[in-house]
Chains A and B, each alone.
Chain A
Amino acid sequence: MSVTLIGKHEKDARASRDAMALPLNEMMAQDKSICYVDCDLMGCVNTKQLRKNYPDRAFEAGIAEGNGAGICAGLAATGKKVFFHSFGTFSSRRCYDQIYMSAAYAGLPVHVLGSDAGVTAAFNGGTHMPLEDGAMYLSIPEATVTDPCDYAQLESVVRQLPGITKGVTYTRFVRKDIIQVYADGSQFEIGKGVVLHESDKDVCTVVASGIMVDEALKAYEALQTEGIAVRLIDMFTWKPLDEALLAKAARETGAIVTAENHNTCCGLGSVVANCLVKNCPVPMEFVGVQDQFGQVGPQAFLMDEYGLRAANIVAAVKKAVARK
């Protein structure tokens, strides 16, 4: 792991999807065993170039995600390293049994890419808003589940995926606008959380992923002005989870707040709680979508609506600390 934090809350000039599409284009040139399958959404994630550049290895499955997932499993059975994309709702709910049985249960690795993580589905609305995709993939044995927060982290994760040969993988990512958190070239290790801030005065640890990492950074700054020191961990790797890092943080800071762009039922908060109950139980609070359905609207509105803001993290930290 080699990480440089920028964390100035500035929007990246690039579309987040290119952190997946451009490296994948390079990887397909180098590794002829990589295949790509999409379900009529190449135009949304800039992967039409793959079909143009590698017509014998990048395929349209059309608007038929269940079949598309099965095609991927069959390709994997012939030794291909297979990437499969649709919107997060359709690459989880719509093809779950196919991913579960044809790929995971059958021992065939397929790398699933779910775009428009959580409220970033925005104007496509509640029907297209994946708030349970992570939960579904977390419950598949041997799966790898990540929720990258920015361009550099998504690119680093995508480059590691072909090396994962056991279990299916699920990468939930943002398609368009993204805040830059890390410097380009930062290298992350799946299974290892990233400590963004720590001190020996920390009274609580905030564990965030995805778009909530930037909100957590803002919360960290706000708490600092109030003289409250907190540890901040980017836990983009939901599974495998960095249990040692979490247990250490719980022991040393005595309280935990999780922050996720996902239902708090069965997402990051749940796996962190599972881990801590076994290792070092401490007061915990959960920032995220509180067991609600998605809805349509601008991302900023949705973040306010569901309590996915720095202010919500600040309040949760105070509540957790008060419970110590």
Chain B
Amino acid sequence: MKELNVKELQVLAAKIRLETLKVIHSRGFGHVGGSMDLADLMAVLYGAVMNYDPKDPRWPDRDWLVLSKGHAGPVAYATFGIMGYYPMEEAYTLNHPHTRFPSHTDRKLTPGVDLTTGSLGQGVSTATGAALGNKIDGRESHVFCVIGDGEADEGQVWEGLHFAYAHKLDNIVYFIDNNGYQLDGTTADVLAHSDLAAKAASFGLYTQEIDGHDIAAIYNAIVNAYAKKGVPSCIVLDTCKGKGATFAEPSHEHSSQPKEEQWAEAIAAAEKALAEAEKA
């Protein structure tokens, strides 16, 4: 883990937001909401926390990222491009025929993607299995698994947490992206959860709930998770779906198909936010 440098990570998060928009804009539509709200987490993970080698994406001692909410693929493609896994422009082929950048993350196609996700809930189990495999091999690495709050409707999410607790997997950190929205509306309206953090804690996980856009809070929560031995960790990120996308943020849209002038406005705003972050 690197020392925390909030400003540097805020700049990185702004770059990730801008590139996420550009990646989705290359197709003209896509899952903007649930991608943009993860930019701060991705900045902390790839800017300060994780060990990885863009030139050797399958380096056995790397830390793993599993976006169980696989539709957040664009935020991963933006982050990996910025970090040098491939030239950024390659990701501007999102969902074009024969692209390496599909809507949902695919380990066979995209350098940096560790596990294939898309059918919700499944990434929780595969991430947990990877953590188990790394533990068998005595590796020091960690697996980071990002779960959507809508995705938490899936029973498999909770089966995965149950397994991780039972097998004492302290080398995995689950994030729940608690943005309050899913495709058909608010999570409260579609299928009300009780308190997600309390639920995760009741499964025996060391659970923290933080502002998912607070760089320092994310970093410190991961430090706390690393220090906790013998139990898996869960960090509930309270987020704003669509954060930083001018057309998606106000309505917290799950997927967006904005007009070209709305794209221009959103990209200009993201460029301005990046310039401001760099100046700050």
Q: Mark A61-95, 1 if CB is under 8 A from B, else 0.
A: 11010111111111111111000000000000000
Q: Are A73 and B163 within 8 A (Cβ)?
A: no
Cβ-defined contact, A71 with B129, below 8 A = yes
Q: Which residues of A contact B106 (CB under 8 A)?
A: 106
Q: Taking the complex as formed, is B122 at the interface, i.e. its CB lies under 8 A from any CB of chain A?
A: yes
The interface residues of chain A lying within 8 Å CB-to-CB of B160 are 67, 70
Q: Which 9 A-B pairs give the minimum distances between C-beta atoms?
A: A74-B129, A70-B125, A78-B133, A67-B159, A106-B116, A71-B129, A74-B130, A74-B126, A64-B159
Is A97 on the interface with B (CB-CB < 8 A)? Answer: yes
Is there an interface contact between B136 and A102, defined as CB atoms closer than 8 Å?
no
Cβ of B112 to closest chain A Cβ, rounded Å: 14
Q: Is the CB of A102 within 8 A of B130?
A: no
Q: How far is the CA of A97 from the CA of B129 in the complex (A)?
A: 17
- Give the distance to chain B from A160, nearest Cβ to Cβ, in Å: 23
B163 touches A97 (CB 8 A): no
Q: Interface SS of chain A: helix, strand, loop or mixed?
A: helix
Partner of B115, one of A56, A64, A97, A106: A106
Evaluate contact between B126 and A78: CB separation under 8 angstroms: no
CB contact list, B93-124 vs A, under 8 A: 106-108, 114-116, 118-119, 121-122, 124
Interface magnitude class on chain B = 20 to 34
Q: Would you call B173 an interface residue if the criterion is a C-beta within 8 Å of the partner chain's C-beta atoms? A: no
Q: Choose from B130, B159, B162, B166 the contact partner of A77 (Cβ within 8 Å).
A: B130
Check A74/B133 contact, CB under 8 A, given A62-B163, A102-B122: yes
Q: Does B51 contact A (CB under 8 A)?
A: no
CB distance from A290 to the nearest CB of B (A): 33
Q: Which of A57, A59, A73, A80 contacts B125 (CB 8 A)?
A: A73
Closest A-chain residue to B122, C-beta based?
A102
Q: Is the CB of A101 within 8 A of B119?
A: yes
Chain A residues with Cβ below 8 Å from B159 are 64, 66-67
With both beta carbons as reference points, the residue of chain B lying nearest to A70 in the complex is identified as: B125
What are 16 A-B interface contacts by the 8 Å CB criterion?
A35-B133, A64-B159, A64-B162, A66-B122, A66-B155, A67-B159, A71-B125, A71-B128, A74-B125, A74-B126, A75-B129, A78-B134, A78-B137, A98-B125, A106-B108, A106-B126
